[in-house]
Structure 1
């Protein structure tokens, strides 16, 4: 019998094991961290983590292990965490017991913590009031919020970690549900300072371009506490050593070579080939066939049990196997013993599961169709007979679907969706509802649940799609629900359906007219009726849409009427929705005090009525009110509160959950609160690529400002297809694209990029006029630099063209500020600051810029825009140094700008400041003043000289490009021009000539 699993010596993983042990040692010192282990299926991830677990346990650590399962549609939220934390419920350590007891939110994860009844014993029931966005809602608060659960998990781990180090191992993250991914992100963002190590593994080949884990990995690997280990297949020599270790005895060189080659360096392949028999010459090349050939060595009873386990989709208890397999106790014991001894099954926490997921997949795929149906039916029957608990309905739905018992699957799917919503997992709820819709017509009408209609499911699918970050699907389901309306549908139900469509359309770009048409249709159905919850909600939604359309008087009437109707019938949610619109209207009228009062009241009423979307909207508009007036500290605090609430309620990727996160990141950029490494706030499974692009674009300015050219260019290319669907992405792309080209010295392209987005926005909607102010200012700035770079070389035609472009653009900026429609009555400080910057830049279109205008720009950005103000200080110093007078004021500006650029790591700005200081012989940290003025005529441009200076220092073209934030190809072009001007044929000769002529010192 060959040795398998943990009995094999760890081969060729010394470096990986050293890194894992170092991570544990750091965690043991209180430097919490995380390691993500990636690799192909069977490459040895589990074996490596088992070695780490044994190492940590031997040093007194508490090791908790959880695994994700491939349940695909309708997965149970938080499954790996529930498995990992379940030993805590029976741990006799008083520290552990006390930590668990003090955190009741853990009840939903621990085995004895089945979902408790709500206060008063109420559960989810159909809601036909019209107050809610979906037909199923909780009448009272039933469960602790998602954030409480996250805090409880983090709290229990860190509390135990005060007593002994904790290692949390999460395997197969490529199968993790969205809720588990969110919880993982939550933990990894809070590891510092704790004796806690989190180790996760995932299959690299499964994480394809659109896989939901991919974006999360991008976020996580940028965290300082997270490191990554890529586990590669063995090399030829390593594979031979591994196969020899497998054999645990003499093996001929031919067998060693054969298995090592056929396994292609994959340890699991090698294990299976070895286990199938050393002398087996006719094994098929496919791994599935190799795996199944091993099963032929088992007895018929053992194969029967193995097939039974493969259909479970999870680990299986002995009692369940006894019932489903049909074997008597003695036969079952012998069959299980045989399967375990042959390393097909393993025993974990008293249940049986496959030693490797690939083996389970191969066995399950080999089941006959009828056999598969019978096994799933048997599991479903057992689940129906067992007491209900956490995940009961999700499992019942899964097995009922696979056994084609659609009558049982339909209500189970609806209940599973309810549970997923309670757990704050709208994405999982959506998948359950979608499956219910798929089988609706296949279930006889008499067998359908009496309290559910297809219209209910369509509306619920629309709601869950919208709250889980899929606005396009939310619209599609809402349109389908409208099309499903029949002549016998009550007017109020029809009005609710049209309102749901209008609300979904409002959250998408370019659908405002359709949204207005939909809400007007809803209004027609209830306009002549008595006040009701439905009528109040229709009016509130209509007010919001009319405000977005610029019909402020009509919006005000609808909002006031909605509030009155809501008060009359006692629907606080509808009143809250109306108050948000009234608050936004007050802000537009220049009454921020009144606006914030109404918005706070709206938030309070939304909380009282459990109207989660309205609550987030009220919080978001409160932050808008402060942000529009440049009160960034207050706005950021409100955004933080809103983000936390969105995470707590599972609405992270709802329209306002996303908007608050994106705006918060933008304000961090403006105020100079830059994170060490940007992240993407990774989307959950199925999140719209448009919304993911919106979030990614909010991090793009950091990449440009820090000089990460390759990453920035890649992101700009990826974001381009999303401009039309999300203009905010276009705005950021235009601004950052222009800035990137500016820092690279390609001023013409900088102008082109900014103006291209201006034209795009104005062609889409003139309401984006104010959004073009910053873009126009950047274009004017680039045009001035473009003209300034042409004049010293006598290229008057090019200089005049650039100046003409700049003059045309500054006129556009002035028009936009004068005619744009701000959210408040007056243009805010941000737009005024960018206008001041544009005016200062325009003063340099014909010659040296006006220092007083740049001083005004510096002052204009004093409202909290730290980085932009530093850029203005740099330009102010340039303008001062271009004129007569003392260099003292310029030096002061450069020092202040340099301090900001250096602190933020803004490489391109810092380099520009140091270059200017060096030429002006101003002492700046990191620079050496220029030795002496040149008396010879200098034929080189500033960029050409900068390139030649670095070549003189021995830099390669690639190194020069990295230092100057330009491409290697651009460096080569500059060098060619330098050599032509100096009459040199080689780089070294050009440097020597430059020194001889005094062009270099």
Structure 2
């Protein structure tokens, strides 16, 4: 029997181990950090982390390890964290005990924290948020709230880390549920000044482009505390050394070479090949066969046990195996001993599991259909008889579905959705409800849970889809619920269904008319009734939709009536929703003080009532109130708080969770607080492609400004199909597409891109007129440079075409500024700044630009738009140099623009500023122009050479002067000196001599 990798010294992983130990050393010093370990299945991630854990434990660290499981049907929220933190409940260290005791919210994750049982006969998902308006059951008072759970996990790790280093190891992150991913993101964003190391592993090949983990990885690698370790397959020499270490007896060299070659550098494959037999020619052709060949060496009883464990989807206790396999104790002991001895199974925390997930997958895939059904049925029967605990119903539903026991699966799915929602996992709850809908008709009516019908499930599915980032599916479920209404449905129930549909339609583009119709149907059903929670929610939702439709007076009446009804019946969530609308109306009436007071009150009442979505909406509108007035610092702080709350409550990809994340990123761009860049921050599978596009577009300006041309072009193409579903994506990607063309010198293309987006937006909805001001200003800017370049070349036709295109855009910008509808009654500082920039650019359409107008543009962006102001400073310097008005001021503007561009790594602007400074002979602090190497003695000065280079390109003296910011007379003087030095009598002769002597680079010559 060959030795396994865990029994031999670590081979060929010295560099990776050094990185992990260095990370642990940093954590010991109080410099918390995280490491992401990636690699293919079987490449040795677990072995490496085991080595790290042993090293950390030997130095007194507390090592907590949790693993994710491949349970696709809904999953178990927070499973890896629950497993990792479980030892804390049994730790006798008083420090640990105290840290756990003072955080009751941890009861959700620790073994003794069993969720309170549901009231008898009630199985529907609880009403954890009053905004759902589906109060089928009241949340138990013992529920401490998902909002506390994340802080409790961070707090217990932090408190223990004060006394000893803590290492949190999370394995197989590619199988992590959305709740676990959110909690991990929360922790990594708060790793500061703690003796804490977080290490997470995942299969690199499984994280495809649309895998749900991909968005989190993109987010995490931007964090300064996170490093990556990529575990690659062994090279040829390393693979041979590993195989030699595996062999516990002399093995022929040709066999060692064959195994090393066949394993393709994968340690686990090498182990399995060695364990299958040493005769190379007898080795099975496929890996699955290699893995399964291990079982042929086991006794029938051992094979039976191994197959039984493969169907569990988790580690299995001895008692469970005894019951499911039907073996007596002696037979089971011998079978398990044999499977462990042959390294098929391992014992972890008193339970049995496969040594490697690949082996479990191979064994399960080899089961016969009848075997699978029987095994899953046996597991389901056992789970049904055991005491309830965390994940109990999700496991029961999983095995019941696999064993086709739909009568048991249906109520288990509903209870699992209940638990998933309480744990802040709306995505998992949605999958459970969807599965319940799939089997609904297959379950006899008599066997369905009481007081549950398909209509209620459709409403639940719509709610969970909306809160987990799938608005299109939320609308589809809402419409299905409306279609399921029949004449026997009570009026109040029908009103709830219509209101639910109206609410999800409100958050989608192009559905305002349908939303109005839906909420009016709901209002017709309750308008003549006495105040009730349902009536209050209908009024609150109607107020929000009417505000969006621009019917402010009607919106105000509905909102105030909703507040009165809500107070009368104690519907605090509905009251909060109506207060948000009143706050937005106050902002529109230019009363920000009133607006913010209403919004803060709404946020507090939403938190009080557990209306999490309403609370996020209140925070989002509060942030927009500050953003509209250019108060970026305050808005950024508010959005950051909103994003954190969305993460803590599992609502990261809800409508307002996403909106605040996108606005937070955009404001960081404008304010000059640029994070480290990655290609995209888009979510992936399980989140709507529309929302993914929105997040990608929010990061696109960074990619363009920093010169990531390939990335920007790729995402611009990907975003185009999403314009209609999310016009904000069109606005951002259209503007950045025009900017990219501008920086690349494709000015005509930039103008064309601007018009394409403007025409799309106005054909889609004229309400986007004001949003075209910025787009139009960028187009005017490109047209002005296009016209100036054409004039410099003497191409009057092109110059006229460019100027005409610019004037058309200027007219549009002026019209949009005068007739567009801002959120408030007057234009905010951002719109005014872009209008000033458009006018400044327009001054250069037919001649030299006006420095005074560019000075106004610089001043206009002084409200906090750091990067845009730097661009305007660059243009201002150009205009000052071109008109020869104030060279000193031009130099100051260039230095200021360069400082911003260099700090932000804005490559395009930085290069443009340096080129302008070089031509104008302005010294930029810290930038030393590189001298050109000359093959011969060069008699020309830099200025003379610059003049001759432009003469060689066919420029007139006037054009050369305009380009170099000197007078036409000065150009003539320089040319006279050049001709005298080169012995030339004409301009063309001087150019030819300079080329012959290597004084000019080969390029365009005088025509």
Matched-pair contact (CA < 8 Å) for 1:117–1:142: no
> Which deviates more, 278-287 or 590-599?
278-287
Matched-pair contact (CA < 8 Å) for 2:36–2:199: yes
Distance in 1 (alpha carbons) for counterparts of 2:359 and 2:544: 55
Matched-pair contact (CA < 8 Å) for 1:982–1:993: no
Is 1:992 paired with 2:1002?
Answer: no
Partner in structure 2 of residue 228 of structure 1: 228
Matched-pair contact (CA < 8 Å) for 1:130–1:496: no
Matched-pair contact (CA < 8 Å) for 2:182–2:648: no
Distance in 2 (alpha carbons) for counterparts of 1:696 and 1:145: 32
Distance in 2 (alpha carbons) for counterparts of 1:940 and 1:227: 49
Residues 397-417 of structure 1 show CA distances to partners (whole Å, capped at 9, x for unaligned) of 111111211111111111111
Partner in structure 2 of residue 482 of structure 1: 482
Would the alpha carbon gap of residues 846 and 414 (structure 1) be closer, same or farther in structure 2, given more than 3 Å must change? same
Would the alpha carbon gap of residues 879 and 128 (structure 1) be closer, same or farther in structure 2, given more than 3 Å must change? closer
Matched-pair contact (CA < 8 Å) for 1:129–1:533: no
Would the alpha carbon gap of residues 321 and 256 (structure 1) be closer, same or farther in structure 2, given more than 3 Å must change? same
| 2:640 aligned counterpart, secondary structure | helix
Q: 1:934 aligns with which of 916, 931, 944?
A: 944
TM-score, normalization by structure 1: 0.91
> Which deviates more, 265-274 or 430-439?
265-274
Distance in 1 (alpha carbons) for counterparts of 2:996 and 2:592: 64
> Which deviates more, 700-709 or 811-820?
700-709
Distance in 2 (alpha carbons) for counterparts of 1:940 and 1:389: 80
Q: Which segments of 5 or more consecutive residues in structure 1 lack a partner in the other structure?
A: 946-979
- 1:674 deviation in Å? 1.8
1:290-369 matches, within 5 Å, as 290-369=290-369
Partner in structure 2 of residue 202 of structure 1: 202
Partner in structure 1 of residue 984 of structure 2: none
Would the alpha carbon gap of residues 605 and 312 (structure 1) be closer, same or farther in structure 2, given more than 3 Å must change? same
Partner in structure 2 of residue 442 of structure 1: 442
- 1:266 deviation in Å? 2.0
Is 1:702 paired with 2:702?
Answer: yes
The Cα RMSD (Å) is: 2.8
Matched-pair contact (CA < 8 Å) for 1:934–1:998: no
Distance in 1 (alpha carbons) for counterparts of 2:693 and 2:335: 53
Partner in structure 2 of residue 562 of structure 1: 562
- 1:614 deviation in Å? 1.6
Matched-pair contact (CA < 8 Å) for 2:128–2:139: no
1:17-36 matches, within 5 Å, as 17-36=17-36
Partner in structure 2 of residue 971 of structure 1: none
Partner in structure 2 of residue 954 of structure 1: none
Would the alpha carbon gap of residues 191 and 863 (structure 1) be closer, same or farther in structure 2, given more than 3 Å must change? same
Matched-pair contact (CA < 8 Å) for 1:874–1:894: yes
- 1:263 deviation in Å? 2.2
Partner in structure 2 of residue 953 of structure 1: none
Partner in structure 1 of residue 660 of structure 2: 660
- 1:772 deviation in Å? 0.6
1:518-917 matches, within 5 Å, as 518-677=518-677, 683=683, 686-917=686-917
Matched-pair contact (CA < 8 Å) for 1:738–1:750: yes
Distance in 2 (alpha carbons) for counterparts of 1:942 and 1:609: 76
Residues 775-826 of structure 1 show CA distances to partners (whole Å, capped at 9, x for unaligned) of 1111111111111122111111111111111111011000000000111111
Partner in structure 1 of residue 961 of structure 2: none
Would the alpha carbon gap of residues 981 and 503 (structure 1) be closer, same or farther in structure 2, given more than 3 Å must change? farther
- 1:729 deviation in Å? 0.9
Matched-pair contact (CA < 8 Å) for 1:640–1:664: yes
Residues 256-289 of structure 1 show CA distances to partners (whole Å, capped at 9, x for unaligned) of 2332233232221221121112237444322222
Is 1:184 paired with 2:194?
Answer: no
1:391-470 matches, within 5 Å, as 391-470=391-470
Would the alpha carbon gap of residues 127 and 744 (structure 1) be closer, same or farther in structure 2, given more than 3 Å must change? closer
Would the alpha carbon gap of residues 125 and 465 (structure 1) be closer, same or farther in structure 2, given more than 3 Å must change? closer
> Which deviates more, 640-649 or 825-834?
640-649
Distance in 1 (alpha carbons) for counterparts of 2:224 and 2:995: 45
Is 1:161 paired with 2:171?
Answer: no
Would the alpha carbon gap of residues 412 and 923 (structure 1) be closer, same or farther in structure 2, given more than 3 Å must change? same
Matched-pair contact (CA < 8 Å) for 2:898–2:910: yes
Partner in structure 1 of residue 963 of structure 2: none
TM-score, normalization by structure 2: 0.91
Matched-pair contact (CA < 8 Å) for 2:129–2:612: no
Distance in 1 (alpha carbons) for counterparts of 2:162 and 2:995: 66
Would the alpha carbon gap of residues 932 and 159 (structure 1) be closer, same or farther in structure 2, given more than 3 Å must change? same
| 1:469 aligned counterpart, secondary structure | coil
Matched-pair contact (CA < 8 Å) for 2:276–2:294: yes
Partner in structure 1 of residue 378 of structure 2: 378
Distance in 2 (alpha carbons) for counterparts of 1:525 and 1:669: 47
Matched-pair contact (CA < 8 Å) for 1:37–1:201: yes
Distance in 1 (alpha carbons) for counterparts of 2:160 and 2:946: 73
Distance in 1 (alpha carbons) for counterparts of 2:425 and 2:669: 30
Would the alpha carbon gap of residues 125 and 488 (structure 1) be closer, same or farther in structure 2, given more than 3 Å must change? same
1:31-70 matches, within 5 Å, as 31-70=31-70
Matched-pair contact (CA < 8 Å) for 1:118–1:141: no
- 1:611 deviation in Å? 1.9
Distance in 2 (alpha carbons) for counterparts of 1:661 and 1:267: 42
- 1:458 deviation in Å? 0.5
Matched-pair contact (CA < 8 Å) for 2:952–2:1004: no
| 1:994 aligned counterpart, secondary structure | coil
Q: Which segments of 5 or more consecutive residues in structure 2 lack a partner in the other structure?
A: 932-940, 956-987
Residue correspondences, number:
961
Residues 760-784 of structure 1 show CA distances to partners (whole Å, capped at 9, x for unaligned) of 1111111100111111111111111
Matched-pair contact (CA < 8 Å) for 1:45–1:231: yes
Matched-pair contact (CA < 8 Å) for 2:214–2:684: no
